[in-house]
């Protein structure tokens, strides 16, 4: 019996429910030729049925490497994903399903695989989210517009240092979020979360005294969340601990807790959520500890024909022994998703207005009436779904932010363009 006949017999064994025979024939083929792609595919299908899904995933990986056409790679990727799924390796299963998306032979195959990604993600205990972005900005450090420090229109406090003045440059960011669902029922779930956020900064005009790495930030967080369905909606509570670094030096530690309740609006076309948040922060220097609190209400409405609208209101404050940290805040944000695609882009518009009051703010003297900041941000975001790869679509967001303050150190302007990727489904 020649190689083609053996391959056909092995395929028939898989289709007729005899994975043991299929495996024996595949191993015989590989003994004669270890580059036999079909034999590796047969192993990838047979091993999971014999209780060895990890061996099946390994064989599927070899079949992918030996494949030369998109249909061949598609078959290998899907079998590898199936083996990983049976081995409870859901992250690997989603990885291989996304690779299958890149080589889908037909629109039907693409839609089928996209639906499988959604299903595995919904059923998986483990969820991984990755975010990357590049953002050219006119103000990477949140610096002031002017070197003079002016209070209530009077330049009486001197000249700002270089790092306190707006610096143009480029910000690169990476955001890794991992969660694991410990327990779940039809009415409740408990999960643990971890997050690592990192930025790198390059200045347009670096000098020996000021470098981009001076503004680089790192944030590490671990949390626990429990959510439970109650009458009228969903109640959730979470706790978190975190650590921050600035310029590779430890900046401080925090502990926080949040309580929230979400409920659907009339007709099921709207949803709302109210939350309360507390966070205690301890700087690495041991000074200027602070306690932040926030109360917030958010809503989202699905409009007939598209054009979803979202909004949020929040009030908060900071308690601290430092008079320059104590403050109260109010903010309003709105969002609108443009219903019709414009060219290749799905557009969304967002705006935010925030007010901050520091009643006891002091420089060389107590600022009369305290310090007040008003900031406005406008953002237009575009998602290019038609150019997605492996289920990730490129995005671009243009933001303009302006802050007006009676203390000129906090008069800022920033224009930034963020380029990144997000899951298309």
CA–CA distance, 364 with 194 (Å, rounded to integer): 42
Q: Are residues 31 and 141 in the same domain?
A: no
Domains held by the chain: number? 2
Q: Indicate the pTM of the whole model.
A: 0.87
Identify whether residues 99 and 142 lie together within a single domain: no
The residues, ordered by sequence, that sit 6+ positions from 266 with a Cβ below 8 Å of its Cβ are none
**Of 122, 148, 182, which residue is a domain's last?**
122
Take residue 351 and report the two structure tokens written for it: 């705006």
Residue in the structure block whose two tokens are 């109210």: 274
The dihedral built from the CA positions of residue 26, 29, 31 and 35, taken in this order, carries a sign that is: negative
Name the DSSP class of 69.
S
Q: Same domain, yes or no, for 72 and 171?
A: no
Burial class (CB in 10 A: 0-12, 13-18, 19+), 48: buried
Query: Does residue 201 sit in the same domain as residue 272?
Result: yes
Strand partners, 181: 191
Among 122, 149, 183, identify where a domain stops: 122
- What is the C-alpha separation between 80 and 73, in angstroms, rounded? 10
Q: Are residues 17 and 140 in the same domain?
A: no
Task: Count the Cβ atoms, other than its own, within 10 Å of residue 119.
Answer: 12
The Cα 170–Cα 245 span in angstroms is 19
Are both 354 and 377 inside the same structural domain? yes
CATH number of the domain that residue 392 is part of: 2.40.160
- The DSSP bridge partners found for residue 274 are 261, 297
pLDDT computed for residue 285 by the predictor: 85
Which residue, of 60, 91, 122, is where some domain finishes?
Answer: 122
Q: Per-residue pLDDT for the chain (425 aa), expressed as one digit of tens each?
A: 688 889 899 999 998 999 999 999 999 999 999 899 999 999 999 999 999 999 999 999 999 999 999 999 999 999 999 999 999 999 999 999 999 999 999 999 999 999 999 999 999 999 999 888 999 999 998 888 877 677 766 666 667 777 788 899 999 999 999 999 998 888 999 999 999 999 999 998 876 578 888 899 999 999 999 999 998 899 999 999 999 999 889 999 999 999 999 999 887 789 999 999 999 999 998 778 999 999 999 999 988 777 899 999 999 999 999 999 999 999 999 999 999 899 999 999 999 999 999 999 998 788 889 999 999 999 999 999 989 999 899 999 999 999 999 998 899 999 999 999 888 87
Task: Tell me the pLDDT tens digit for each residue of 272-301.
Answer: 999 999 999 999 987 789 999 999 999 999
The structure tokens listed for 215 are 């503004």
State residue 162's pLDDT score: 79
Q: How many residues are there in the chain?
A: 425
| Phi, psi angle pair for 86, to nearest 5° | -70, -20
Gap between the Cα atoms of 201 and 167, Å rounded: 11
**Residues 116/141, Cβ–Cβ less than 8 Å:** no
Q: How far apart are CA 262 and CA 256, in angstroms?
A: 20
Q: From the CB of residue 318, how many other CB atoms can be counted at a distance below 10 Å? A: 19
Same domain, 196 and 57: no
125 contacts 180 by C-beta, under 8 angstroms: yes
Verify that 29 and 145 share a domain, yes or no.
no
Q: Rounded to 5 degrees, what angle do the CA atoms 5, 7, 11 make?
A: 115
- Assess whether 174 and 291 both reside in one domain: yes
SS3 239: strand
Same domain, 342 and 359: yes
> Which domain, by its residues, includes 185?
127-423
Q: Do 140 and 279 fall within a single domain?
A: yes
Q: The domain that contains 89 carries what CATH number?
A: 1.25.40.10
CA angle 294, 295, 296 (to 5 degrees): 115
Residue 207 shares a structural domain with residue 335: yes
| Unique residue bearing structure tokens 């480029």 | 170
For residue 377, the SS3 value is: strand
């Amino acid at each position: 019996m020649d190689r083609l006949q053996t391959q056909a017999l092995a395929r028939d064994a898989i289709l007729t429910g005899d994975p043991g025979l299929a495996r024996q024939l595949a191993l015989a083929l590989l003994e004669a030729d270890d580059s036999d792609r079909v034999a590796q595919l047969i192993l990838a299908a047979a091993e999971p049925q014999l209780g060895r899904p990890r061996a099946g995933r390994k064989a599927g990986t070899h079949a992918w490497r030996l494949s030369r056409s998109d249909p061949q790679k598609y078959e290998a990727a899907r079998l590898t994903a199936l083996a990983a799924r049976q081995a409870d390796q859901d992250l690997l299963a989603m990885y291989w399903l996304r690779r299958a998306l890149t080589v889908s032979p037909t629109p039907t195959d693409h839609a089928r695989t996209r639906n499988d990604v959604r299903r595995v993600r919904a059923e998986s205990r483990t969820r991984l989210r990755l975010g990357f972005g590049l953002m050219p900005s006119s103000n990477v450090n949140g610096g002031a517009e002017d070197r003079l420090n002016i209070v209530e229109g009077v330049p009486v406090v001197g000249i700002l240092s270089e790092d306190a003045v707006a610096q143009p440059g480029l910000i690169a960011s990476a955001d890794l979020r991992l969660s694991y669902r410990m327990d779940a029922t039809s009415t409740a779930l408990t999960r643990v979360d971890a997050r690592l956020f990192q930025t790198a900064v390059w200045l347009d005009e670096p000098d020996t005294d000021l470098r981009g790495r001076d503004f680089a930030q790192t944030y590490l967080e671990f949390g626990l969340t429990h959510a439970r369905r109650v009458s009228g909606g969903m109640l959730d509570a979470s706790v978190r601990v975190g650590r921050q670094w600035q310029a590779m030096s430890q900046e401080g530690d925090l502990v926080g807790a949040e309580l929230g309740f979400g409920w659907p609006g009339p007709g099921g076309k709207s949803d709302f959520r109210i939350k309360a948040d507390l966070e205690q922060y301890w700087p690495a220097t041991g000074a200027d500890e602070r306690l932040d609190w926030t109360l917030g209400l958010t809503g989202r409405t699905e409009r007939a024909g598209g054009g979803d609208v979202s909004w949020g209101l929040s009030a908060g404050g900071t308690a601290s022994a430092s008079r320059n940290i104590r403050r109260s805040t109010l903010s309003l944000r709105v969002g609108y998703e443009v219903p019709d695609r414009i060219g290749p882009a799905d557009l969304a518009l967002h705006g935010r207005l925030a007010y901050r009051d520091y009643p006891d703010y002091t420089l060389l003297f107590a600022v009369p009436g305290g310090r007040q900041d008003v900031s406005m941000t406008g953002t237009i975001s575009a998602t290019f779904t038609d150019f997605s790869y492996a289920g990730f679509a490129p995005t671009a967001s243009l933001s303009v932010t302006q802050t007006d303050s009676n203390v000129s150190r906090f008069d800022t302007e920033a224009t930034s363009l963020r380029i990144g990727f997000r899951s298309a489904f």
